[in-house]
Structure formats: structure tokens, C-alpha cells
Structure 1
Amino acid sequence: MTANLPAALDLSADVAALTASLLDIESVSGNERTLADAVETALQACPHLELVRDGDSIIARTSLGRAERVILAGHLDTVPLPGVPGSRGTVPSAWDGEVLYGRGATDMKGGVAVQLALAAALTEPARDVTYVFYDHEEVEASLSGLGRLVTRFPDWLTADFAVLLEPTDGTVEGGCNGTARFNVTTTGRAAHSARAWMGENAIHAAGDILTRLRDHEPLTVDVDGLAYRESLNAVMIKGGTTGNVIPDRTVVEVNYRFAPDKSPDDAEAYVRSVLEGYDVERTDAAAGARPGLNHPAAADFVAAVGAEPKPKYGWTDVARFSELGIPAVNFGPGDPLLAHSDNEHVSADEIRECLRALKTWLG
């Protein structure tokens, strides 16, 4: 199949084959239109679903009057295609036995295929289900299709519980850590490097910042029975103007991944305490999400999966559901460590097992 040509998706096909069909449609962030068209067309053939589209995002739902409603959500976009010649994680997809290669295999077209298969097959689910397919997840948060849907279609995103089908190796990962970024600035006095004693070197002054971060012992915080490991690291450093000038300003960018018991303001206070005495500016922050595993629907879901739940260390869109008061977990096929790699792949059995667990829970 040629990438980005209109494609008819067979939602009754084997879910692994459906994943391959999704991979064959290139959908790098900002270029989701063709895939969104294919998803919308396929869902329009399901008479038991109500449907709404906004840009390149689609919401479909059952309305059976069930006592509970759950959301299954996944993003349509991928990171850019590999730039390495001969990479296997590209478009179109490729099979190696029962292993499927292609951009988005783990993050997260395997999960989207499971959503689509369930949407078509579950005409009488035990719980009402809202299926959310959204654009622009792999770019800055201001462009998020899910964030746009929350604003424009709040009634469609009302639910008791949500599952985000990000790759988790088939394990329930509750909630997620929050994330915050900070600029930590040192200042000095510029001088010619041949007369360095006339200046004050701002890069050298940043050495103590780096030492504190290197020696920092990250916390592990228990939140609702799951142990969230935090991390605090320098991720970028900028300083200097040219090769013969003592630098008068240096900025160390710091990223703090914090447990969901903290707010962004709590996180900022903690970073300021670690880097006391320095100019610290918060540039970005997103709250985490508590695991919500005490909700009855969550307990039923964990039982259906049959594996001990784990914490989610990275930030995901479960945090958006948490802000809406909806407990949410991550659960999807594929190894998250392969996401965005040039060797991105997922096994057919992992996708099928994810479908089986969700169908057991919902059906």
C-alpha cells in the first residue's frame, strides 16, 4: 500500500492485520487527515455508535443507558519517520513472522486498532463506551487534539473511568508522574579570555548547580499503593557568545518528573529548595494523575487483565482525564521502550491479548 492514499479499514479483520493497515497510512503530527478520514469512514458503518468529528479528532460512543460509562482513548499521530536508511520502523509496515514493524507500531497504532476493533464488535457492551481518537499528541500541549475536545465537547467526555491505550507491555499502569521544566540562571561579567581575571565566568558558576543535581537522591513516593519514582536532571545548558569571551550568563534547563501527590506549585517549591540561592524560573509544567485504582471499574479492569498494576513514570494524557475528575489508567500493547525508536515493532499476540482483556472487561 502506498502511504497516505485513502484506505478502507476492515474493522472485522484480525486486530494485528488492522494494526498493519493503520501503520500503512502515514500520520506524522500535523498530517493526520488521511488516517482520520479512514477512521471516521469505518466508524460511520457502525449503526450502534454516535459520532462527532472535530478537525482530525473523532469521538464515537454507545448510548445504551448503562449504569457506567468508560472512555477508551488513543492518538492518531506519530513522531516523524526515521531518518536512518534501511530502518524497519517506517511506513509502510512490514512483517517479520508474527512481529509487525512500522512507525507507530507501539506508539500507538496497536492501541488504536484495539479501540477500532472493540468499537465495531461491542454492539451491546456491559458499560457504555466512548471511543476517542485524537490528533497532535506528539507535539506541544497547546496543539493537543484531546485538549481541544475537552474544551469543545465536554458532554462527550463525561465518564466514570478512562483507559488510555498507550503501550504498557500489556500491564495496567496507574496514573502518571507530573513534569515541570525550569531555567536556572547564573550571571557573571564578560571579559576578553586573554584577560580572564577581569571577568566572572558564568559557566563555571553553574558547576555547583550541576553538582547538586548529580548528587540529588530522587524520591520514591507511594501514592494509592503504587510507588512512583521521581527524577530531577539537567537536560540542557546554554552559555557563552564566542570563543574568546568570558561568558556573563549561563542557563541550565532542569526537568523534574514528580509523583502525582504533588501539584506543579509543590514541584516548583521542591526544586527551589534543592537549588536554593539560584535564580530559578518555571517555564512549563503539567500535573500528574493519581492512579484511581480504588474505583470499582478500575478493580474490574485489573482483574480482567490479570497482572499486578504498576505506576506510570512518564507523563501521559491520563492527566487530562484526571483534571476532569475521571480516574484513568494506561494500558496498551507493545514495549514502551520501543516508542519513537527506528526499530519500532509490536508482536501480533500482544495486540490480540490487549483486545481480549478489554473485551472481557467490557463485554
Structure 2
Amino acid sequence: MNELADLTEELVAIPSHEDETAAGDAIEEWLRAETDARVERDEAGNVIAYKGATGDPDADTLALVGHHDVVPPADRQTTGEGNAGGYVVERREGRIFGRGAADMKGAVAACMLAFRDAEPPVDRTLAFASFVGEEVGGEGARHAIDEGFAPDRAVVAEGSTNYSKPGVTDVAVAHKGRRASTLVASGTAAHASEPEAGENAVYRASDAIDEVRELDAPEATVFGERASGSLAVTMVRGGETWNVIPERCEVTIDERTVPGDRADIGRAAEAVEGVAWEIDQDLPPMACDDDAFADAALAAAREVHDELGLDAPEHVVKPHATDAGWLAEAGTDPLVCGASEPGEAHTETESVGVDVLERCYRIYEDIGERAF
């Protein structure tokens, strides 16, 4: 399917790590040229399109969702500095190499073609959305949701390939979130020759760390799949010089949350005098609560795999936060299904398999046409 590979290369070649405008322009122009859908571009730069039962207020809406921003490229992946230079794109040995090929312009291209080609049931609105700002905390998704983007269901085309076994594209029914927080220990400075004259913030931080080590990591079960979170102190910063009792010490904590459960980090702050807890980032986890949708999506994926002579995909839990978390928080039932394989995104050798993109296109088209 050369059209899909060509469209992927076209999108990958457009720089979008500092400014997503040109990539959004390309997506918008393609949708207007290739479909009769209602195409919108909001103030944030998100591209959203609708077709099917758009005039029926009782129609369900299914959205195919991606993002067209990328993380900054390595030197070898760009032909110039910033958005002034293009990205290097290569196709060889059945794969497309370039920044954003896996995460996630290849999957966006597959969604675009599936959106164009799918014929949804008469009582369904089929939507397509490509967001900006996913890599910096879901800025585009949050803006779209605030402006009223509220599909009943969504297939978020982030990576789910090679999760249950090699060579399959699975359907993730849940994923972990990420909460980044800081315990701030305050003390009183004094000369280190008279430590009793001060209050050592590092000691207070150490006591708080001991409390964190006793906390249970988050856990949940979704569709029989166990989702286990994690909790870890990742940085400690305190003191300014060798002969002064430190008056401040900061402890950074990385927590991977799961649907319905989070660690009680506040307990560590409450247990130690002079320690406060600050939340720096909170990317929500995701769980799909629509059994029929999850089963239908898996059936679609299995039919495609069976036709290709591949092993059957499974319902899985994805370890990484995506825009599906923001959608779930807003009331959408999302699933994650996409071409990116573990270890491909954000690397100097980032790539995606053309055959896997074609597989995803077929899955998305089938889900768009399937009754739930």
C-alpha cells in the first residue's frame, strides 16, 4: 500500500518539535482534499474532522486519535536547525526511518486513510483527531476537551505492537499514568561546626524517603489484566556548601499510577516535620470501561492478523501514559492500538514497519465500520 508509506514519509519529513503548524497544515489540507468530512482547526493547532451521522444528536461518536508533535530530533535526523531544516526520512528493508515515524506520524497516516475509507454505521459519527503538544503533557488534547471534543469511544493510535508476543499488534485496554512530585524539606541553616544550632533539611528529607519506601505501589485489574504501578525516588538535591547545615532539600519522586489507585505520598509529608509535598506533573492513567468496544476492537485485530497468517493479538496493559488518559478522564472510553514497537520511539534510529502500518490501517478501518 504505497499510499500509506508515501503519506507517512511526507508527514515525517515535516519538522514539528518546536512548531507543529506545518505538520498540522499538511494533515488539514489532505483531509480537505481527500474527504468530504467537516474539518476543523482549533486555536491550539489540533486538526479534527467528522463524518457519518454528524447531524444526529443521538449518534455515538468513535474517534481515531493521534498527535503530530514529536520530541526533538538527533543531529542525524535533521537537515538543519530547528523547524528551518527538514527531517531526514529513509525507507529501507520494509521500514521507514525518521523522527516521528514510530511516535507517531506513521499511525496518524494510517488513521487518516482509515478515516477516509471507512463507512461507519448509519448511527455513528466517525471522527479523526491529531493533537499538538502530546509530548509536553497533552496540551492539545486538554485544549480540545475543554472546547468540547467528547467522543464516546476512541482508538488512540499509540504503540501496542510486540506487547503480548513478537509480530502482533495488541489492543491496550489500560495504561499507566505518571505523577511526578517533590517532597520539599525545610530546615534552619547553621555552621557545620555547630550542627545542633540548625535543623538539617537533608536529615528531614532522609526521614521522608524512609516513609516513601514503606508505601505500597499502585495496583489495579482491568479486563483481567493486572496493572502494577511503581514508586521511586529518582533525585535528591540539598545543601549549598560543605560547611553549612542545609536549610532546604528536595526529593523527586516518579510514580507510575494505575486506574483507580495512587500511592499515598502525602503520608510521607505528614509524618515528618518540615516536609511539604508538591505535585509537578500528573498524567492520568487510562482504562476502558466499555467491554463490548474492547471485545470488538480485539476481534477486528484478530481477524486482520488471521488473514495475514499472524499470531492472535491480546488485550494488554501499556506502561506509558498517552492522550488516552486525558480522554478517559473526560468520560471517553478509549483503547490504544498502534504500530510503534517498544524501544523505537524517541531514539536516534526511530523507525516503523510498513507492514505494521498497513495492518493498523486495516484494523482502524474495520473498527470504524464495526457495530459494538
Smaller-chain TM-score range? 0.7 to 0.9
**Counterpart selection for 1:82 from 61, 74, 77:** 74
Q: Which 10-residue stretch deviates more, 301-310 or 42-51?
A: 42-51
Give 1:191's aligned amino acid.
A
| Structural mapping, 1:10-21, within 5 Å | 13-21=2-10
Q: Which residue of 1 aligns with 2:88?
A: 92
| Aligned residue in 2 for 1:109 | 105
Code of the aligned partner of 2:27:
V
Task: Name the counterpart of 2:27.
Answer: 39
For residue 120 of structure 1, report the CA deviation from its aligned partner. 2.7
Post-superposition offset of 1:214 = 4.8
Task: Give, in angstroms, the shift of residue 179 of structure 1.
Answer: 3.1
In structure 2, the partner of 1:303 is 299
1:100 & 1:211 partners in 2: Cα distance? 47
Asked if 2 retains the 8 angstrom alpha-carbon contact of 1:190 and 1:245, the reply is yes
How far is the alpha carbon of 1:274 from its aligned partner?
5.6
Which whole-Å CA distance do the structure 2 matches of 1:128 and 1:58 have between them? 16
Contact 1:191 1:198 in 2 (8 A): yes
In the alignment, residue 266 of structure 2 is paired with which amino acid?
R
SS at match of 1:311: strand
Alignment correspondent of 2:159: 167
Task: Identify which of 283, 306, 319 aligns with 1:313.
Answer: 319
- The change in CA–CA distance for 1:218 and 1:196 in structure 2 (over 3 A counts) is same
Query: Cα offset for 1:361?
Result: 2.5
Code of the residue aligned with 1:145 in structure 2: it is: G
Give per-residue Cα distances to partners, 1:204-250, cap 9 Å, x unaligned: 44233334545655343213422111111113322112343221221
Structure 1 match to 2:306 = none
Shift of 1:80: 0.9
1:160, distance to aligned residue in structure 2 (A)? 2.6
SS in 2 for 1:51: strand
CA distance in 2, matches of 1:47, 1:347: 26
Partners of 1:172 and 1:352 in 2: CA distance = 16
Written as runs of structure 1 = structure 2, the 5 A alignment for 1:211-250 is: 211-214=210-213, 218-250=217-249
**339-348 or 235-244, larger mean C-alpha shift:** 235-244
Distance in 2, matches of 1:197 and 1:160, equals 61
CA offsets 1:44-89 (integer angstroms, 9 cap, x no match): 1134311111142111111346854310111110011125x5899x
Structure 1 distance, partners of 2:52, 2:73, is 38
Counterpart in 1 of 2:258? Answer: 259
| Aligned residue identity for 2:34 | C
Compute the RMSD of aligned alpha carbons. 2.7
Distance 2:242 2:103 in 1: 42
**Aligned length, in residue pairs:** 337
The alignment's TM-score, normalised by the length of structure 1, stands at 0.83
The 1:210/1:308 distance shift into structure 2, 3 A limit, reads: same
Matched, 1:24 2:13: yes
Match of 2:145 in 1: 150
Structure 1 unaligned spans of 5+: 1-11
Secondary structure in structure 1 of the residue aligned to 2:185: strand
SS at match of 1:338: coil
Deviations 1:173-220 (A, max 9, x none): 113333333321323332233554544432244233334545655343
**Unmatched tracts of structure 2, length 5 or more:** 80-85, 162-168, 303-312
Q: How far did residue 116 of structure 1 move?
A: 1.4
Deviation at 1:293, TM superposition (A): 4.4
Moved more, 183-192 or 69-78: 183-192
Query: TM-score scaled to structure 2, two decimals?
Result: 0.81
Matched, 1:52 2:48: no
* Whole-angstrom CA distance in 1 between matches of 2:216 and 2:247: 30
Cα distance, 1:286–1:231 mapped onto 2, change above 3 Å: same
Contact 2:187 2:200 in 1 (8 A): yes
Amino acid of the residue matched to residue 180 of structure 2? R
Once the two structures are overlaid, the 10-residue window that deviates more, 15-24 or 325-334, is 15-24
- Specify the SS of the correspondent of 1:31: coil
> 2:128 is matched with which residue?
131
Q: Percent identity?
A: 27
Instruction: State whether structure 2 residue 64 is matched by structure 1 residue 72.
Output: yes
